[in-house]
Amino acid sequence: MTTRPVRAADVAKRAGVSVTTVSFVFGGKARGNVSAATQERILQVADELGYRPNKLAQSLRHSRTHTIALLTDGIASSPFAGRLLAAAEQRASELGQALLLRDTHFRSERDQEALDDFASRRVDAVVYATMGLQRLVDLPTTPLPLVLANCFQEPARHPSAIPDEVAVGQAAARLLTSTGHRHIVMLSGPGRPGHGTRVVDVAAARRARGFRAGLRSTGVARAAGEVRVCGWTIGDGYRGAVAVLTADGDRLAAASDRPTSIFAVNDRVATGALLAALRLGVRVPHELSIVGVDDQEELADQTVPALTTYRLPHEALGTWAVDTALDMITRRRRTAADPAVDAPRLFPFELIERDTVAPPPAT
């Protein structure tokens, strides 16, 4: 014998209220219409009976699906930036929203197809998030409310939030100089043929700019080669560190000729620098301090010694993106207009102090 699903009328009868009152509670209209005590009684009865509101029926009545789409270039299919996805999913769940994920695997030609599909599925809004900081040039169009996370446009056309990359470079410079270091080298991101020592990646370039500004603000004289073009990988970090620690690529340079600290553009480069120091017999942090960026899971806290680094604000970006998407949905329902778009909101990094920073050796 098949048991009939519990209906709103069953809850209303048991709780001694009208079906309309039950609908107010589960339809988000209880405020100002239903007392707190009555709401609590209805929710308790619903729990006892195992009542679950029909989301499809609600969406048809209110022209909303309570679904936010998250379109990414590679977050879901890579080990990086997963905290952004996890935070967005958690926040959506807390607010009673479903999260529909689509990963394009770094094939930007799929963006328009995905946005069109979201519109056909009647999602309420879209969050567009990138694995690394990006300046978007040709973002496909959509009639849906659109929020950008970890990426931005110039000029801004949609609300966006990004990590404060300049500030983290400044913070790293101040951390190392306040510890006593005066000979500091930054192993930065990749360059491009024909650009010399210029760093061309958006995030890496901003971190380098902040690093230089941080050194200037502390009064430390700028040294030649303070920012070295490097790359993103452990191998890049290894080769970059060997280059600045040795006289000829093999023989360790004299202590007075080599840096006492390295600021690495990310944790993988920092890990490569750790390996180079190990091979060359340079003790970390006693003879060489190393600072990374990312606080990459399953890496930064697993190195020996554990890496001092700056954690990317991915959780904050994910939470902000969902909150902003819901705000846009509400504004459109009330005024048919999106909020004014300003410059990207900047979120700070968090210093994670571990074991790779110490005062420089006495000379």
Residue 135 in contact with residue 153, Cβ under 8 Å?
yes
Q: Are residues 179 and 217 in the same domain?
A: yes
- Amino acid 221: pLDDT: 64
- Amino acid 21: pLDDT: 87
Q: Are residues 305 and 170 in the same domain?
A: yes
Task: Kindly state whether residue 226 falls inside one of the protein's structural domains.
Answer: yes
- Amino acid 169: pLDDT: 96
- Amino acid 198: pLDDT: 54
CA distances from 357 to 180, 181, 259, 278, 289 (A): 11, 10, 13, 15, 5
- Amino acid 194: pLDDT: 46
Q: Are residues 301 and 344 in the same domain?
A: no
How far apart CA 123 and CA 69 sit, in angstroms, is 7
- Amino acid 1: pLDDT: 44
Q: Are residues 294 and 169 in the same domain?
A: yes
How far apart CA 184 and CA 165 sit, in angstroms, is 19
Task: Kindly state whether residue 1 falls inside one of the protein's structural domains.
Answer: no
Q: Are residues 238 and 284 in the same domain?
A: yes
Q: Are residues 266 and 130 in the same domain?
A: no
Task: Kindly state whether residue 299 falls inside one of the protein's structural domains.
Answer: yes
Q: Are residues 322 and 305 in the same domain?
A: no
How far apart CA 292 and CA 306 sit, in angstroms, is 11
Rounded to the nearest 10 degrees, how much is the dihedral formed by the CA atoms of 215, 217, 221, 225?
30
Q: Are residues 305 and 340 in the same domain?
A: no
- Predicted structure pTM score: 0.80
Enclosing domain of residue 221: 165-312
- Amino acid 122: pLDDT: 87
How far apart CA 115 and CA 343 sit, in angstroms, is 24
Task: Kindly state whether residue 342 falls inside one of the protein's structural domains.
Answer: yes
Total structural domains within the chain? 3
Q: What is the CATH number of the domain that holds 23?
A: 1.10.260
**Beta-bridge partner residues of 148:** 128, 160
Q: What is the pLDDT along the chain (363 residues), one digit of tens a residue?
A: 456 788 888 889 999 998 888 877 877 667 778 888 898 898 889 888 888 776 545 554 455 778 999 999 888 777 777 899 999 999 999 988 999 999 998 888 899 999 999 988 889 999 999 999 999 888 888 889 999 999 998 888 899 999 999 999 999 999 999 999 989 999 998 865 444 445 568 999 999 999 999 988 887 765 445 899 999 999 999 999 999 999 877 789 998 889 999 999 999 999 999 999 999 999 999 999 999 999 998 899 999 999 999 999 999 999 999 999 999 988 876 555 566 778 899 999 999 999 999 999 886
